[in-house]
A and B are shown apart, each in its own frame.
Chain A
Amino acid sequence: MITLLYIKKIFKLIIYIILGLLVLFLTYFFYQPEVEFFNIVISNPFYGYIKNLQLWLYLVLYFSVISFVNVFILFFLSLYFNYTRERAMNLKVWYDRLFAEKLTDYLLTDKYNEKHKKAKFIKSIKRITKNHIQIESLFSVYTKIQETLTIDLSEKFKSLLKEIGVYDKQKVFLYSNKPDERIIAMKMLSYLRIKDFEDRILYYSNSKNHAIRTEAFAALIRLMDKDSNLIIFIGEKDNLSLLDINVVINAVLKNFKMYINYPALVASPRICKAIIGLMLIKCRIKKEYGHLIFLHKHLESNDNMLKQIAWDCLFDLVPEKEVAKAVLEHFDEEPDNVKHLILKRMHSIKDNRLSGILKNAIETQTLVNKIEAMKILFNNNFEEFTEYKNSKNPEVLKAFKEVSDINII
């Protein structure tokens, strides 16, 4: 497969080189009276006009002609694509609807349980899975169905693919040099739980192309037998972008992977892995792992995002008293955006020890943090809140007015 890919690439390159050489050859040819090529003499019909031109003027004329020719080519190509795209789009919509209807019946109902009905169904599908558009549409409809439903339909669909003879097309798509085909193949293979190509998908998880990389992550997560494998491939070589992190989190949550090695993820020295681990324990409300935030000192991390997520988790997973203690210990050292997050989440915590923090936030912190602190006071200690009514500090007054205005309205 890989050899075929390289052959294709080399073939493409050769065509480009030939086209380039052809342009050069024609440039030379039209400037000569005639050219002898393998004992065949080809005369230049335009030489009568060209011979009086200086070389640079000849080139000017030559490129003018090339430009005009290209205008025509591009015009007809535009016309062609305009037509074919419209047609392909209509066809795709038509096939998508058709396959959606047929596959829903086949996968989710008992309509084709009887042998003769099934044979008839397979014959009908076989007829409409001959070309690329049709196969792509079939694959895409199946992945959409599987993305929507949580029940595993893989065995039934695998047998259908084998019977209509397009099972191996997944491999062709996976090794294609077109990213969109690779993506759809990874989706198919992972939804069908076909593990034979894990290495290839693992290879794609290091791709520079974001779309391929993120789909490879999602596919690997779907394919994982032991969910603890998650720790192995995520973010080992490259740092993950926010997009990758979100894709991984969503893929894990969506695929009900339950036996994740959370401690290993949260403990990872790779920041992206730790973020994923923290987000997963937060979304899954794994309170038993809340202590890991303290254990691995994520609240003291130098990475701002990790710090924010660690605090966010803390409020969800750790008992109020411990959170209050952590806030008291760390609040002053935190950067403004982390302070803002802490204050935003502090609404739910009723601990008298935090009143000092609120006072400090109102008096010394940034305007948005003052507002958040004021909001807490408004809800929890209205009397203290009203004490700021006549504050001499203009920012405190601004915050007081906003909170009273917006909350009372």
Chain B
Amino acid sequence: MTPLSLFYDIFNNIFLIYATFLFLIYILVAVFSTSELASYVKRNKHFRYNTIRSYKILPSISVIAPAYNEEDNLVENIRSLLSLKYPKVEVIIVNDGSNDNSFEKVIERYEMVKVNYAYNEPIKTKKIRGIYKSLNHAYSNLVLVDKENGGKADALNAGINISRSELFLAIDVDCIIESDSILRMVKPFLEEDSNKKVIASGGVVRIANSCKIEDGQVVKVDYPKSIWAKFQVLEYFRAFTLGRMAWSKINGLLIISGAFGLFDKRIVIAVNGYDTNTVGEDFELVVRMRKYMHRVEKKKYKVAFIPDPLCWTEVPSTLKVLSRQRNRWARGSIETILKHKDMYMNPKYGRIGLVSFPYWVLFEWFAPILESIGILYFTVALILGMVNYNIFLLVLLLVFSFSVFFSSFAVFYETYLFNKYKGYRFLFKIILVAMIELIVFHPMNVFFALKGNYDFFIKGHKNKWGVMTRTAFDSKIR
């Protein structure tokens, strides 16, 4: 055996083993998510969420929405937040040093005046310039915080400091929230038993591009027109309906979307709030909260996940913005993984240390790197004439068919359980998108993730956000 063929064999086997593991993980994700979804539907189908409003003992909730240059939507979105159904809710809008007119517009529309609102700073934040309350009694549960720009995490931390509730809902102010979303999100906290504390609950985020929005609510769900948004609809189906549900099944969920998550405020303060030095603050916070529960409180706990589509957001519809977003996600993941590397394969952290964290390292962080090495390796083998075309085509066929199958599975659950996108045309389109995703969208994602790795390690851009341009809902909101 020549050294070249030995090298060739070793490489082939590494890739084969890695791919087989990935393949098995996807099958497990399908099985676990099926079981979790079935159990969720069985438990909640006949539950009337509105009855929660009449409950005598409920935790209080602060909705914290950081806003930066949201002039187009802010006033309307606050109206949508104020109409959320929950008896004990306060809405805290944190103006993170916007340099447009959003702040002035909110003050004018909601008749707000600066007040001496008392608060402590258990979490250090940038300077708060002022806190505003409304003169109108109808908005008595609205608090507007004006602070110096410090980024989303810093704004959320300021909101946490101001909050006087037991739980807080962190949301992106430009998201459209279903009016009963708090009732659904708080249910796991009400269901917690003395043996297992619920420390956070996350909800499904869906894509609002091209949807019809009236009075701050999505009234008609349409499949986006932009091809990049179309790909993301499918990606979100897989990530939320299958991925997060499966991780929730084994209580191994490491991320709650920054756009929409309900947290136990006491624990978030105990871990010192969001990390302002990372761009993946949502992921990092959940990891740190879990770590805290294992190391300090040493109690059984749970991060819950709700599969109902409760939050609608606009996703990047241009390649430029998409690349920035994915680059940021990659850098955020790397930073969190490296910051908490002590959790990797550490039995002290239970299944988080032994399953979730290793998965994140091996199949989220390393995947684009290994995939790129694989493509490079394949190109070299092709030049050297070492590729067996029959084997190559068969394996390619499996990858393609399995990828489309997995996407179809997510689409099936979406249709079966929530049926938000209606009609056979949508089904045709999305299956077609699933087929071309592998050759168009996936390689781009790999490239953006690689660029994120490059920017993180080589350029040292660790916490640079980049501009997230939105086309805004203004034309759609009435």
Is A279 within 8 A of B57, CB to CB? yes
- Per the bound structure, the CA–CA distance linking A81 and B422 in Å amounts to 11
- Per the bound structure, the CA–CA distance linking A78 and B237 in Å amounts to 14
Knowing A71-B401, A405-B115, say if A85 contacts B192 (CB, 8 Å): no
Residues of A within 8 A of B51 (CB): 250
Q: Write the B404-438 contact mask toward A (1 if CB under 8 angstroms, else 0).
A: 11001101100110010011100100010000000
Chain B binding surface SS class: helix
A118 to B: closest C-beta gap in Å: 32
Is B56 within 8 A of A209, CB to CB? no
Is B405 within 8 A of A82, CB to CB? no
Is A86 within 8 A of B113, CB to CB? no
Knowing A75-B427, A179-B45, A402-B115, say if A245 contacts B57 (CB, 8 Å): yes
Q: In the complex, which residue of chain B has the Cβ closest to the Cβ of A249?
A: B56
Residues of A within 8 A of B45 (CB): 179-180, 211
Residues of B within 8 A of A63 (CB): 398, 401-402
Q: With an 8 A cutoff between CB atoms, is A364 at the interface?
A: no
Q: With an 8 A cutoff between CB atoms, is A367 at the interface?
A: yes
Which of A14-22, A90-98, A120-128, A235-243 forms contacts with chain B?
Answer: A235-243
- Per the bound structure, the CA–CA distance linking A312 and B189 in Å amounts to 22
B192 to A: closest C-beta gap in Å: 6
A317 to B: closest C-beta gap in Å: 15
Is B117 within 8 A of A402, CB to CB? yes
- Per the bound structure, the CA–CA distance linking A370 and B115 in Å amounts to 17
B290 to A: closest C-beta gap in Å: 22
Knowing A61-B394, A74-B412, A279-B57, say if A401 contacts B401 (CB, 8 Å): no
Is B427 within 8 A of A309, CB to CB? no
Knowing A243-B190, A402-B117, say if A210 contacts B43 (CB, 8 Å): yes
Is B408 within 8 A of A71, CB to CB? yes
Is B47 within 8 A of A211, CB to CB? yes
Is A64 within 8 A of B394, CB to CB? yes
Q: In the complex, which residue of chain B has the Cβ closest to the Cβ of A398?
A: B118
Is B191 within 8 A of A210, CB to CB? yes
Is A409 within 8 A of B113, CB to CB? yes
A143 to B: closest C-beta gap in Å: 10
Within 8 A of A (CB), among B126-145: 133, 135
Residues of B within 8 A of A250 (CB): 51, 54-56
Is B427 within 8 A of A211, CB to CB? no
**For the side of the interface on A, what is the size category?**
35 or more
Cross-chain contact of B404 among A67, A178, A243, A404 (Cβ < 8 A):
A67
Is B419 within 8 A of A86, CB to CB? yes
Q: With an 8 A cutoff between CB atoms, is B120 at the interface?
A: yes
Residues of A within 8 A of B415 (CB): 78, 81-82, 85
- Per the bound structure, the CA–CA distance linking A398 and B117 in Å amounts to 7
Within 8 A of B (CB), among A246-290: 246, 249-250, 275, 279, 283
Cross-chain contact of A402 among B56, B116, B423 (Cβ < 8 A):
B116
Is A67 within 8 A of B401, CB to CB? yes
Is B42 within 8 A of A209, CB to CB? yes
- Per the bound structure, the CA–CA distance linking A229 and B54 in Å amounts to 24
**A residues neighboring B (CB under 8 Å):** 57, 60-61, 63-65, 67-68, 70-71, 74-75, 77-79, 81-82, 85-86, 178-180, 183-184, 209-211, 215, 238-239, 241-243, 245-246, 249-250, 275, 279, 283, 305, 309, 367-368, 370-371, 395, 398-399, 401-402, 404-406, 409
> Which 8 interchain pairs have the tightest Cβ spacing?
A401-B116, A67-B401, A246-B55, A398-B118, A67-B405, A243-B190, A402-B118, A74-B408
Name 24 interchain pairs, CB-CB below 8 A, sorted by A.
A60-B395, A61-B398, A63-B401, A63-B402, A64-B398, A67-B402, A68-B405, A71-B431, A74-B405, A74-B408, A75-B431, A78-B408, A78-B416, A79-B424, A81-B412, A82-B424, A85-B415, A209-B42, A241-B193, A246-B57, A249-B55, A249-B57, A275-B57, A402-B118
**B residues neighboring A (CB under 8 Å):** 42-47, 51-52, 54-58, 113, 115-120, 133, 135, 164, 187, 189-194, 390-391, 394-395, 397-398, 400-402, 404-405, 408-409, 411-412, 415-416, 419, 422-424, 427, 431
Given A71-B431, A371-B118, A399-B118: 20 more A-B contacts, CB < 8 Å: A64-B401, A68-B405, A70-B409, A77-B412, A78-B415, A85-B415, A85-B416, A179-B45, A180-B42, A209-B43, A210-B43, A211-B46, A241-B191, A245-B57, A246-B56, A283-B56, A395-B120, A398-B119, A402-B116, A406-B133
